Amino acid sequence: MIINHPLLGPRDASEFVHMGDASLMHRPDPKSETAADDFYRYQYLRDNPAGLYAELWFHEQGDRSWLVVTRNTLTHEIIDVQLARHIARQKS
Amino acid sequence: MSLVDFDAPINFKFNGKALQGFDGDTLASALLRNGVKVVARSFKYHRPRGIMAAGSEEPNALVEIHASGVCEPNRRATTIKLFEGLDARSQNFVGSVDRDLLAINDLLSPFFAAGFYYKTFMWPRAFWEKLYEPIIRRAAGLGSIMKTPDPDSYDKGFLHCDVLIIGGGPAGLLAALNAGEAGKQVILCDEDFILGGRLLSEDIDVDGTPAADWAKLTAHRLMMMPNVRVMKRTTVYGVYDHGIYGALETRRDAIGLKTPRHILWRIYAKTSILAAGATERPIAFENNDRPGIMLAGAARTYANRFGVTLGDNAALLTNNDDGLRTSARHVLDVRGGESVVNTKGRSGVKSVTLNSGQSLPVDGLYMSGGWNPNVHLTCHKRGRPKWDDVLSCFLPDAGNLPADMKVIGSANGAFSTQAVFDSANAACKTLGIKAAMRPKSEDAPVKVTAFWHVKTKGRAWVDFQNDVTAKDIALAHQEGFSSVEHVKRYTTLGMATDQGKTSNVLGLAVLAQASGRTIPETGTTIFRPPYTPVPIGAFAGAHRGTHFKPTRLTPSHKYSAEQGATFVDTGYWKRAQWIARPGEKGWRDSVDREVLTTRGSVGICDVSTLGKIDVQGKDAGKFLNKVYVNTFSTLKVGRCRYGLMLREDGIAMDDGTSARLSKTHYITTTTTAKAGPVYRHMEFCRQVLFPEMDVHLISTTDQWAQYSVAGPNARKLLEKIVDPNFDISNEAFPYMACGQITVCGGTRARLFRLSFSGELAYEISVPARYGDALIRALMSAGEEYGAALYGTEALGVMRIEKGHAAGNELDGRTTAAHLGLGGFVSGKKDCIGKVLSAREGLNDGVALVGFIADNPKDTLHNGAHFSAELGKAGPNEDLGHMSSVAYSPELKHWVGLGFIAGGKSRIGETVYARDFVRNHHVKVKIVSPHFVDPDGERLRG
């Protein structure tokens, strides 16, 4: 498997560590009244789509960037790779 | 036109008998040349078996290769290049291969029908494991495994190319030539040791020259091209994601030598061209498995390529025109109504019985049931081949190939040599590669009539390697297995080491006939990697023994080894576990001495393996507030603080200390085991959760050598090392102080007044390259105090005596409250894990306390579970467990830490620590976890 790193180009999957669903980027507001329920959902509930799926990968044997990799779970085709930091900054 | 060098004889042994072959022979061709007919015994029925094919699809002729004291089973005689001194032996028999005692299984065949495992030997139940299974395992199976370590070596390699061409027959050679001439980076892999594929086996011409000569010339041209890498004896065995291919190169067949026998290549290709050829099918008829019954194409390979005459009185049974190329005295074409209903000849076919009733004496029988394109690699990414009625075979589904793969030649159903060449040029054209040449060769049309099975009462083999007959398949269908996947598993069709190369389609056809369906209605199984077997050793490569994983050595490793340290593996690190001195009889002697010396005077321990993360930036303190339960933004410059880190689910993740060197600079430490995961987690928090913070991280674990200097004489010792302009008195440098200093006359260092042992203690660090010099300087300065170097055992004893949690307590199930650190969780601020740590289920009142045996002479064991009484022990009686124990040389009895319901409120009570693994049950008293110096006077002194 090859991940096309936005800064470093195509890199072998063995350089990366996988964490899981990119929804983990969206940490709920701890001050919210519904924080307990929000964090429960954030921590434990995942979709299991047949098709496009965004996941977090860490370039541990590389530049230590966290990436958001969008993969088709039916074909393993990688559609899109972005720096997680870039996406997080746009959001905030 | 044979490709064997008759001037170069090669001596080899088969079943102990000295034989001779020639350079260019395979073991199979050399055996045939020497008239050896019975090569092996079959899997289940122990039927005598000969050589059926000439390539990697061979199901029968499996042999063991022997070398001094070592052996490798299940090697196909057809793929072993004959070498001087080869010692090959038959396998799967008791007694001799000619008179195998287990041939009785053949007479018992009614008991071994499909699913016999599930039907027989069921009763009495206890007999299965003790009697039936060992007997079956002895009787069935393929070869026997060597029980000593594999003496061979293996290697791995990585290659990149524009075009990977899989198969070096006419299609692959022409495609490689085209791509090579076009300037592409090309890799051409072929499993054989001579390029050419079927061109070496058929008596045909290409451009007016013999086909084998054309192959030789073309191969030569390719090898001259700097941009083409020709890899003979290299099988591409698997297709993986994103243009990655696995290939196994065989460097030699001999075993037990030092140089790598196989190289496992990982090939990254932009495009691949599959030119894997086709495999001939057998025909199922009664007793079609006798030695001397061979695929027709294989017979031509042996005659044309190897110059081996198989007999001058052979018969041919065919359903297609290609079979008619084979020279045989009796030609039986099923399209003309002729067929074979039975054969005779125990150790080699002697006669065939025709459907007319006539019996023909023969010395060989060649069969051709048509050709199956080798579609295997097109299926590795879930492609499903499609049945073609005209060609009577499965073809790759062009709409469902691995991305960037083209299939050419007979692998794609182009069966005449001309059609093969044309398909190669056409595929290259679609890739924008011009044809370098347009060779001319025979263009015979495919004329085949599907014909699979001559039904008689006896057994007709379908899968020769797994001993599956047409009857087994019919029986499976009769018993309700209609799905091809179910039939495969029930009968084991196609599940042997050849993965059904010769049997799958025939089996499918027999099933289709039995169920009255067409082949497309019956469906097909698809192929998974590997195409041919890959030795496990090749996957391991050089990563075995000590090279299985990296080894990390601490800065004091050399010195510790000189002192006689025993090392323990902690992750990749080797850490000194204890350092024995002369006269000490066991590890406990050394550990007790190291603890008592440290507590009595001074001890030194290498703590460089603890993770160190440099945290810098305007928001460094704010960032640490988020990742630790404690507040770090308020920490004064020049001070350290203990920190507990939670996972987002509220469970404790790690602990350590953070030192503030300046307003914008902290150094945090992690446990040895969690250095990697904690760094990863902190980068996640920094980049993804809190991207607005101005903070940067870097791991400096390897950059600094760090030693703990502990004990009442620690300060006196350090004053001899630390340069005099730095005041390290208790007033100037109190407990939890930190600072940047110099040592030994100007060497940059950091000093932290931290104590894991509970003694007056410091941790001192220098750039790693000075680590060896510093440990020697410290030990030499400590000589006058009798300083001891101590290892991880003494470190563990002292932290248990002090009640500090470590890996045994931070085991992925415990919360801050369990560890007695609930008070650390700041109420004022948010941190990772805070919200979920408040969940009701996590706050169960269990907490860490100390334990001592009621009878001080008793030992304690970790892993023991607590219960109130000695009676029944189960989940309902369970109160908690002992996590860490040690013998305390200071207190002269065992001490333990553990988690118990009720925690500190139970101090003073007595419970039982019950260890059912060691069968050791001890009455224990619940005490404070701080066994030594509970008020912490020593560490502040």
Q: Model confidence over B474-522: pLDDT tens digits?
A: 999 999 998 899 999 999 899 888 889 999 999 999 999 999 999 999 9
pLDDT over 90 (residue B7): yes
pLDDT over 90 (residue B363): yes
Task: Count the neighbouring beta carbons within 10 Å of the beta carbon of residue A29.
Answer: 12
Mean pLDDT over B213-231 rounds to 98
Least confident of A45-49, B90-94, B437-441, B860-864: B90-94
Instruction: Classify burial at B68, counting beta carbons within 10 Å of its beta carbon; exposed 0-12, middle 13-18, buried 19 or more.
Output: exposed
Token reading at B831? 């941190």
Q: Which residue of B242, B688, B692 is the best one to mutate when testing the A interface, meaning the one whose CB has the most A CBs within 10 A?
A: B688
Q: Enumerate the residues of chain A whose CB falls inside 8 A of the CB of residue B649.
A: 43
pLDDT over 90 (residue B258): no
A31 touches chain B (CB under 8 A): yes
Q: Enumerate the residues of chain A whose CB falls inside 8 A of the CB of residue B834.
A: 30
Percent of chain B scoring above 90 in pLDDT: 85
Q: B659-664 contacts: CB < 8 A, separation 24 or more?
A: B659/B738, B659/B750, B659/B752, B660/B621, B660/B632, B660/B635, B660/B636, B660/B738, B661/B637, B661/B738, B661/B739, B661/B740, B661/B750, B662/B637, B663/B637, B664/B616, B664/B617, B664/B618, B664/B620
Token reading at B442? 């025979």
Question: Comparing C-alpha atoms, which of B465, B532, B503, B22 is closest to residue B238?
Answer: B532
Structural domains in chain B, CATH included, are 5-104 (3.10.20.440), 110-136 (no CATH), 153-280+370-444+526-548 (3.50.50.60), 282-366 (3.50.50.60), 461-517 (1.10.10.1100), 552-608+704-798 (3.30.1360.120), 611-699 (3.30.70.1400), 845-940 (2.40.30.110)
d(CA B912, CA B726) in angstroms, rounded, equals: 53
A32 touches chain B (CB under 8 A): no
The distance of B825 to chain A (nearest Cα, Å) reads: 15
d(CA B525, CA B832) in angstroms, rounded, equals: 49
The residue among B494 and B781 whose pLDDT is bigger is B781
Tell me the helices (H) and strands (E) count for chain B, helix number first. 23, 49
Cβ-nearest to B649 among A43, A83, A84: A43
Q: Which residues contact B590 (CB under 8 A, 6 or more apart)?
A: B578, B579, B580, B581, B584, B791, B793
In this structure, are residues B35 and B13 in contact, taking their beta carbons and an 8 Å threshold? Answer: no
The distance of A86 to chain B (nearest Cα, Å) reads: 8
d(CA A22, CA A1) in angstroms, rounded, equals: 19
Q: Which residue of B835, B837, B840, B843 is the best one to mutate when testing the A interface, meaning the one whose CB has the most A CBs within 10 A?
A: B835
Question: Comparing C-alpha atoms, which of B212, B247, B244 is closest to residue B229?
Answer: B247
A54 touches chain B (CB under 8 A): no
Report whether the peptide linkage leading into residue B124 is cis, meaning its omega lies within 30 degrees of zero. yes
Mean pLDDT over B54-65 rounds to 95
Q: SS3 letters for B280-341? A: ECCCECECCCCCCEEEHHHHHHHHHCCCCCCCCCEEEEECECHHHHCCCCEEEEHHHCCCEE
Tens of pLDDT, residue by residue over B585-630, are: 999 999 999 999 999 999 999 999 999 999 999 999 999 999 999 9
Q: How confident is the model at residue B873 (pLDDT cuts 50, 70, 90)?
A: confident
Question: Comparing C-alpha atoms, which of B615, B623, B699, B631 is closest to residue B665?
Answer: B615
The pLDDT, as a whole number, for residue A85 is 96
The pLDDT, as a whole number, for residue B117 is 60
Cβ-nearest to A43 among B648, B680, B688: B648
A79 touches chain B (CB under 8 A): no
Q: How confident is the model at residue B68 (pLDDT cuts 50, 70, 90)?
A: confident
In this structure, are residues A62 and A11 in contact, taking their beta carbons and an 8 Å threshold? Answer: yes
pLDDT over 70 (residue B133): no
Cβ contact B830–A30 (<8 Å): yes
Least confident of A25-34, B7-16, B101-110, B608-617: B101-110
Cβ contact A31–B830 (<8 Å): yes
The pLDDT, as a whole number, for residue B70 is 86
The distance of B848 to chain A (nearest Cα, Å) reads: 26
Q: What is the CATH number of the domain that holds A77?
A: 3.30.2270.10
Q: Which residues contact B546 (CB under 8 A, 6 or more apart)?
A: none
Question: Comparing C-alpha atoms, which of B388, B413, B1, B6 is closest to residue B171?
Answer: B413
In angstroms, the Cα distances linking B941 to B153, B195, B764 are 59, 81, 18
Q: Which residue of B242, B686, B829 is the best one to mutate when testing the A interface, meaning the one whose CB has the most A CBs within 10 A?
A: B242
Cβ contact B680–A92 (<8 Å): no
Q: How confident is the model at residue B136 (pLDDT cuts 50, 70, 90)?
A: low
Rounded to two decimals, the ipTM of the complex is 0.98
Least confident of B87-101, B102-116, B390-404, B624-638: B102-116
Mean pLDDT over B264-293 rounds to 97
The pLDDT, as a whole number, for residue B123 is 60
Phi/psi of residue B877, nearest 5 degrees: -90, -10
Cβ contact A42–B830 (<8 Å): no
Token reading at B4? 């064997």
Mean pLDDT over B633-645 rounds to 97
The pLDDT, as a whole number, for residue B346 is 86
Q: How confident is the model at residue A45 (pLDDT cuts 50, 70, 90)?
A: very high
Cβ contact A27–B268 (<8 Å): no
Tens of pLDDT, residue by residue over B339-355, are: 999 999 988 999 999 99
The distance of B267 to chain A (nearest Cα, Å) reads: 12
pLDDT over 60 (residue B407): yes
Q: Enumerate the residues of chain B whose CB falls inside 8 A of the CB of residue A77.
A: 403
Q: Which residues contact B181 (CB under 8 A, 6 or more apart)?
A: B225, B434, B436
Mean pLDDT over B253-268 rounds to 93
d(CA A57, CA B790) in angstroms, rounded, equals: 40
Q: Enumerate the residues of chain B whose CB falls inside 8 A of the CB of residue A24.
A: 688
The pLDDT, as a whole number, for residue B138 is 61
Mean pLDDT over B104-125 rounds to 64
Q: Enumerate the residues of chain B whose CB falls inside 8 A of the CB of residue A85.
A: 687-688, 691
Cβ contact A76–B243 (<8 Å): no
Question: Comparing C-alpha atoms, which of B692, B691, B51 is closest to residue B308?
Answer: B51
B32 beta partners: none
Q: Enumerate the residues of chain B whose CB falls inside 8 A of the CB of residue A58.
A: 680, 683-684
C-alpha R_g of chain B:
37
Percent of chain B scoring above 70 in pLDDT: 95
Sheet holding B314-318, edge to edge: B293-295, B364-368, B314-318, B330-333
Tens of pLDDT, residue by residue over B537-550, are: 999 999 999 999 99
Q: How confident is the model at residue B402 (pLDDT cuts 50, 70, 90)?
A: confident
The pLDDT, as a whole number, for residue B827 is 81
Cβ-nearest to A17 among B242, B680, B689: B680
d(CA B89, CA B143) in angstroms, rounded, equals: 10
Token reading at A92? 């905030």
In this structure, are residues B494 and B525 in contact, taking their beta carbons and an 8 Å threshold? Answer: yes
d(CA A67, CA A75) in angstroms, rounded, equals: 20
Token reading at B768? 């790693």
Mean pLDDT over B38-55 rounds to 92
The pLDDT, as a whole number, for residue B147 is 83
Token reading at B459? 């057994």
Residue type, B558: K
Is residue B662 within a helix (H) or strand (E), and if so which, with residue range? strand B652-662
The pLDDT, as a whole number, for residue B210 is 97
The pLDDT, as a whole number, for residue B717 is 98
End-to-end CA distance of chain A, in Å? 32
What does pLDDT average to over chain A?
Answer: 95
Q: How confident is the model at residue B239 (pLDDT cuts 50, 70, 90)?
A: very high
- Number of folded domains in chain A? 1
> Domain range for residue A78?
2-91
Which chain B residues have any C-beta within 8 angstroms of a chain A C-beta?
A: 240-244, 268, 381, 403, 648-649, 676, 680, 683-684, 687-689, 691-692, 830, 834-836, 838-839
Q: How many CB pairs under 8 A join A and B?
A: 67
The pLDDT, as a whole number, for residue B125 is 63
Phi/psi of residue B699, nearest 5 degrees: -80, 130
Rounded to 5°, angle at Cα A68 from A65 and A71: 135
Place of tokens 């899109």: A80
What does pLDDT average to over chain B?
Answer: 94
Residue B697's closest chain A neighbor by CA? A64
Token reading at B865? 């579970």
Q: Enumerate the residues of chain B whose CB falls inside 8 A of the CB of residue A88.
A: 687-689, 691
Residue B688's closest chain A neighbor by CA? A85
pLDDT over 90 (residue B882): yes
Cβ-nearest to A88 among B268, B687, B835: B687
Q: How confident is the model at residue B403 (pLDDT cuts 50, 70, 90)?
A: confident
